[in-house]
Amino acid sequence: MLNTFWKYLEFEKRYSRHTLASYQNDINQFVRFLESQYQVHNLLKAEHRHIRAWIVALMQEQINPKSINRKIISLRTFYKFAISREGIKQNPTQKIKALKTSKELPQFVQEKEMDNLLSIIEFADDFEGSRDALIMELLYGTGIRLSELLGLKYSDFNMQAKTIRVLGKGNKERIIPFHNKILSRLNSYISHKNKTFSGNGNIALIVSNNGNEAYPMMINRITKKYLNQVTTISKTSPHILRHTFATHLLNKGADLNAVKDLLGHSSLAATQVYTHNSLDKLKKVFDQAHPKA
């Protein structure tokens, strides 16, 4: 049953490897809980009380509420699949409610700090340096997700139109414009890549030092390495550059719907979180400039 579900997520829902791994981890964790605590060895035999007990156990372990909610979503998706494919009549997740979570504003890198990173810091004039520079430019200059970066191919770039074709969540395609600095970084990287890995058949755009496909941990290390040189924010993941991209656009007066489309959000609500950061800046401008403030 689980193997069929994994294939459904991978081939029908077109989930990324990272998302698929998260679902597998969540559900396998619940399977182990069922077996150890209730000697239930079949997911289809799980009851509402079992799931509720698992959530309580996770809370006692002080697991982040957002992580617990993700695990709940994983189970809900599985049981909805089981109802449609296996014909089970009751969904044990039906009365399970998501935990309340505090609304944290997304962290982002200040504009001056990003200018320092991309203008002052010198990237080595070799394969590794040109690759790292391109990664930082792409993440900040287009706001793409980590999974989208890893899925890029050279053929996704339209050099004349200066656009990138990106395959996002749910296999949805979108077109994102890019600026001249990215074009320059891309040309430099491709030149170094071809010299370093002559005849390499890997079609992935971003590759590791040995020519294999890049992987999430590698990109995380690269963003941490360079962001730590210019900022003191606690989070230095690739996603921070996505937050930075959106916040800086809105600070410069970009239309919220346009930012939504650039980010590939399915609803405006997901994009509106960035308006809080922009609103803080507007309030400061108002306090400093308005004669009655």
**How large is the average pLDDT for residues 152-166?**
96
Please list the active-site residues.
145, 169, 239, 242, 265, 274
Is residue 130 within 8 A of residue 192, CB to CB? The reply is yes
**What is the dihedral angle through the alpha carbons of 65, 227, 277, 146, rounded to the nearest 10 degrees?**
-60
Contact 156, 164 (CB under 8 A): yes
- CA 41 and chain centroid, separation: 34
Give residue-wise pLDDT tens across range 140-155.
Answer: 999 999 999 999 999 9
Question: Given this model, what pLDDT does residue 86 score?
Answer: 77
Task: Round to whole Å and give the CA distance between 279 and 250.
Answer: 9
**Per-residue pLDDT tens digits for 22-37:** 999 999 999 999 999 9
Residue 286's pLDDT band (boundaries 50, 70, 90)? low
The domain ranges of the chain are 2-86, 111-288
Determine the Cα–Cα distance for residues 271 and 264; give it in Å rounded to an integer. Answer: 10
Of residues 97 and 270, the one with the higher pLDDT is 97
CATH topology of domain 2-86: DNA polymerase; domain 1 (1.10.150)
- pLDDT per residue over 213-229, tens digit each? 999 999 999 999 999 99
Residue 246 binned pLDDT confidence (cut-offs 50, 70, 90): very high
- pLDDT > 80? residue 117: yes
The pLDDT tens digits for 4-16 are: 999 999 988 888 8
Q: Does domain 111-288 have CATH number 1.10.443.10?
A: yes
Query: What's the pLDDT tens digit per position in 42-96?
Result: 999 999 999 999 999 999 999 999 899 999 999 999 999 999 887 788 899 999 9
Strand (E) positions, the chain? Answer: 157-158, 163-167, 173-177
Residue 132 tokens read as 């790292």
Q: Tell me the C-alpha distance between 3 and 84, whole Å.
A: 16
Q: In the predicted model, is pLDDT for residue 290 greater than 70? A: no
CA 150 – CA 144 distance, rounded (Å): 10
The pair of structure tokens assigned to 21 is 């791994």
pLDDT of residue 88: 80
| Confidence class for position 106, pLDDT limits 50, 70, 90 | confident
